[in-house]
Structures are given as C-alpha cells and as structure tokens.
Amino acid sequence: MSVWPRSTRPEADADISVGGVSLTEAADRFGTPVYVLDEQEVRDRCRAYRTAFPEADVVYAAKAFLCRAVAHWVMEEGLGLDVCSAGELELAVTTGFPPEEIVMHGNAKSPEDLSTALRLGVGRIVMDSVSEIARLAAITLAGTRQKVMVRVVPGIAAGGHAKVRTGTDDQKFGLSITDGSAQHAVGRILDQPHLELVGLHCHIGSQVDSVKPYVAAVRRMVGLMARIRDQHGVALPQLNIGGGHAIASRPGEESLDVGVLAGRVRGELEDGCARTGLPVPRLTLEPGRAIVGPAGVVVYRVLTVKRTRQRVFVAVDGGMSDKPRPALYGVRYAPRLIGRPSSAPPRFVTVVGRHCEAGDVLADEVALPGDIHPGDLLAVPAAGAYHLSMASGYNLVGRPPVVAVSGGIARVLVRRESLDDMSRRDVGL
C-alpha cells in the first residue's frame, strides 16, 4: 500500500482504515464523496522535511490544499507558509499563522493581494514582473521596507506534464536569465528605497521525480547571484528553490527522495558558493503536494455501471468538480473497491465522474472486480493535494467535505457545500 497513508490497515469485510477510522464507516457517517485526511501523515511529512533540511526555511505551499486545520498543523510543525492570494493569506493569518513566516507568490498579484500583504506584514513577497515592482513600491509606506525576492526563470524543463513545467522560458511565470529580464528586475528593486531585495526564487515545475533538475537550477541561480554581486556589490542572503516534489499516485510510480534531494542541493550550493566566493545563502523550499497529497483518500459511491461493446464505464458520485487533475493533466489513479469482499475475477473498467463532459474520467482502464455494481464504494489514494483546492461548482454539485482522522477519531474540517450555500450567492433575477 505504498500510495496509501502509512496508517492504512486492512479491516474485516474488505474494508480499510486510515488513522484508525474505517473508510466505510466514514462514508456512511459523512456521505460521499468524502475526502479523508490523515493528520499524523501530514505532520510526519512536515517533520521529514525539517529533518532533511534543518538549516533551511521549509514553507508549505498552501495552493496544494489549505484550510484552518492544515495551516495550524504546519505551523505547529515549524513550517512557514507560501500563499498566492489575499484569500489564502487572510485565512492563514486569522487562524493565527505568524505573517512574518509567510511568503506571498503569484504571477499576477492584484492590488488587493499586494495591499493585504503589506497590511498584514508578510515576511517576503516574490516579484514576478517589472510592473509589479513599481506597483508594490508605490504603495509601501514611507519609513518602511518590504522584503522581496525576484522569481527567476532558470531555463530548465522539469515536471510531469507540459502544463506544470514552470522553469522554462516563454511561459507566464517569472523573469528570464536568458533575455536579461531577471537582471533588469534586480536593478529596479535595488533602486527602490522602500523595497529590500533579500534573495532570488525559482520554481522549475511540478511532479519532478529526479534530483538532477534541482541541482542544475541551484547551479544557475548561484551563477546569477555571483553576477549580481559583481555588478551591484550585493551578496544576496537567501535562495528559494521552490517545490514541485513528485509523489506516487499509483503503485510503481516514483516519488522524489527528500533526503537525497537535501544532500545533493546542499552540496551543489556549498560548492558553487565556494567557486564564486559567495557566502552560502539561507535556503528556502516550498513543498506542498509532497506533504499533503499522500495523506488524503477520497471515497466515492458507484452510481451506475454501463457496458458498451468495448468498455465498462463505472460512474461515481463525484468527478472533475472535485478531482480535476485527470482531466487537466492526464493523471492516473488507482481506485480500490472497499466495504465488501469479492471473488469475481477482475476486469478492466473506466471510472468516470457524473459531470457533463466526455473528459470527466477519473481512472482509465483500471482493474476492479467484475461484479462491481451501483452502491459499491471506491477509495482513491494520493488525493490530498490539488483536488479540493482546484474544485469547481460545475453542474452545481456541491464540493465534498474534508474529514480529518487521527487515533481512531474523525472530525469535519471543511463541511460539505450545500445547495443553500450555492443559492445564497445567486442574488439577482
């Protein structure tokens, strides 16, 4: 059960438990679809990063999944937070997260994003464009200095899908080394009396399962830091290498080894700084999916089974509104029948959602018992990241609840979205 939370255990009647809680009982108690999040798994993964990178700032990427409880867990485990909007920032700060431990991101920050970041006192704001530098400088109060970083495009292709490769030139994120945009942005910030340039940032992509691209990125970033030192006489004290660490969604897939990553990145950083005569900057990294993704399991109930000439379609009561990544990136998952034993030979089926799109496919050609029928429960692991955080209101199907499990106790973190919730937003005729 390598793709399941480490607390996963087999139970009677082909059920499984996570965090000491039966998934079948969770489905009966909270309804389906239901997202189950193993609190201890999240905490253990936070600790694994702190152990691997004891002298770095580890900040949790809130875009993977954020709610008040998750913000509280990562804060208690000693991590900072990476947010991308005023909404994520307000939720975190009103939960009690120290704003000075928060990094504000975003390729197109709104005026509200920037003003909220200044008002609440975030620790660092990552500049993604030259116009953003001018906008922030204009609203920073006299007598204050806001710490900023420059998001640099290092020219490295890495990631599990073309849509999540953010380290290459000619895409919407960051400022390129190749065309000089990054160097120009550095000069602009250094000319602003209310902005304090504390370092550089890069993010090469998502679902990166190899250490090599990170090592290459560090090498190029150190080279840029050396050129900044030579041109401006400034040795930047921080380097943020982003996140994007791969997890396995199905058995046999590769995940990124955090311990190996730490050793190779630290070695390249120290060697590069020694070669160029730079002081070693303080490292920051931003894991999100790698912390919360493996801690989540979603449970669906089968609604229909339809047999055509070539396929068997198993339709469940959720889909692309709560699990959009298969449609967006072609990600494949491994659903499992739970809650009843079956001796029927397996057959290949396509698990689809309930939404009005032919592309609403959750798992294509996966083996499930041949007697699968309406009313059965399917559990899908590796579901903690980039599912509910990307959820939509398509077909006005309410978003599922999130239930935390730990020590045999289940509690609701985020309640199910009701028709009344959605109707309250529709205010006109």
Residues labelled catalytic? 356
CA distance 6 to 136: 44
Query: What is the spatial distance between Cα 414 and Cα 28, in angstroms, rounded to a whole number?
Result: 17
Asked if residues 87 and 68 have their Cβ atoms less than 8 Å apart, the reply is no
CA distance 281 to 248: 31
Residues 75, 100 contacting (CB under 8 angstroms): no
DSSP states along 14-53: G-EEETTEEHHHHHHHH-SSEEEEEHHHHHHHHHHHHHH-
Beta carbons within 10 angstroms of residue 161's beta carbon: 14
Can you list the pairs that 133-141 forms with residues at least 24 positions away whose Cβ atoms lie under 8 Å?
A: 133/185, 133/188, 133/189, 133/192, 133/195, 134/188, 135/111, 136/195, 137/192, 137/194, 137/195, 139/111, 139/114, 139/115, 140/194, 140/195, 141/194
Rounded CA gap, 136 and 157, in Å? 30
